Amino acid sequence: MMNYVFPILLIFSFISAIVTGRVDELSSAVIDGAESAVQLLLRLVSMLCLWGGIMEIGDRAGLTRLFSKVMYPVVALIFPRLRKEKYVLEAISMNITANVLGLGNAATPLGLEAMRRLQSINSDTEFASDEMIVFVVMNTAAMHIIPTTVATMRGQYGSENPMEIMPAAFLTSFFALATAITVAKIGNRFKRKGRRLYGR
């Protein structure tokens, strides 16, 4: 994917900069971009180390198994082919739990662990499996119940009721998530019919 996205972004930026007369800005963006990548990576280091460590404790103590038992009905409904792969379902359940609680920072390391487990049962390791697509797409939609960051910012800018948007945000998130899963699943069916190149 990035083999297409990366050049498209770069070429489109260059052409737009010429059109809008912002080549100066574009030039400094090259260096600034590389620098902000380092900042982002540093943040990832602290996030993945901290939550990786804490979750390892939870895993060893059997907490993960407990959570995944609670989440099993929902997760098994979304990933019917993983019913027997308890090991994979556990990681997926933990990621969903962290997302729903609004712990975005903890959700990423858990999600990456789930991806590793999905990859271990993938038949072609170059291609995304059907379950990976559904799982990643779920993580690109917001699953949290309370939009904390947004509510805080609304408060800072003098909203009389920062939480007023909560029902709308919840409904929107829910239907966007349902759309994401549905489109991903339709795509899965379509591809598998076309050529049986990558099942699971």
Partner 1 sequence: MADNWGSYVLPLMVVGIVAFGLTKKVKVFDCFMAGAKKGLHTVYELMPSITGLVVAVTMLKESGAMDILSDFLSPVTSFFGVPEEITPMALLSPISGGGSLSLFESVLKTYGPDSFVGQVASVVMGSTDTTLYAVTVYYAAVNIRNTRHTLLSGLTADFMSLVLSAFFVRITVGQ
- Binding positions for partner 1, 103-142, rule CB under 8 A: 103, 106, 108-109, 111-112, 115-116, 118-119, 125-128, 132-133, 135-137, 139-142
> Is there binding between residue 3 and partner 1 (CB under 8 A)?
yes
In one-letter notation, the amino acid at residue 152 is: T
Alpha-carbon distance values, 27 to 7, 23, 34, 82, 178 (Å): 17, 6, 12, 48, 41
Nearest 10 degrees: CA dihedral of 68, 89, 81, 198? 160
> Is there binding between residue 29 and partner 1 (CB under 8 A)?
yes
> Going by C-beta distance under 8 Å and a sequence separation of 6 or more, which residues neighbour residue 75?
68, 82, 89, 92, 93, 96
Cβ nearer to partner 1, comparing 40 with 74: 40
Among 72, 78, 85, 154, binds partner 1 (CB under 8 A): 154
Cβ nearer to partner 1, comparing 36 with 81: 36
Cβ nearer to partner 1, comparing 21 with 73: 21
Please state the closest distance from residue 16 (CB atom) to partner 1, in A: 4
> Is there binding between residue 189 and partner 1 (CB under 8 A)?
no
For residue 3, how far is the Cα from the chain centroid?
A: 20
With beta carbons less than 8 A apart as the criterion, state whether 100 and 145 touch. yes
Burial class of residue 111 in the structure, from the number of CB atoms within 10 Å of its CB (0-12 exposed, 13-18 middle, 19+ buried): buried
Please state the closest distance from residue 200 (CB atom) to partner 1, in A: 13
Cβ nearer to partner 1, comparing 24 with 73: 24
* Count of residues touching partner 1 (by CB under 8 A): 104
Residue for token digits 């379509």? Answer: 190
Binding range to partner 1, per CB under 8 A, among 70-78, 84-92, 172-180: 172-180
Residue for token digits 């349902």? Answer: 178
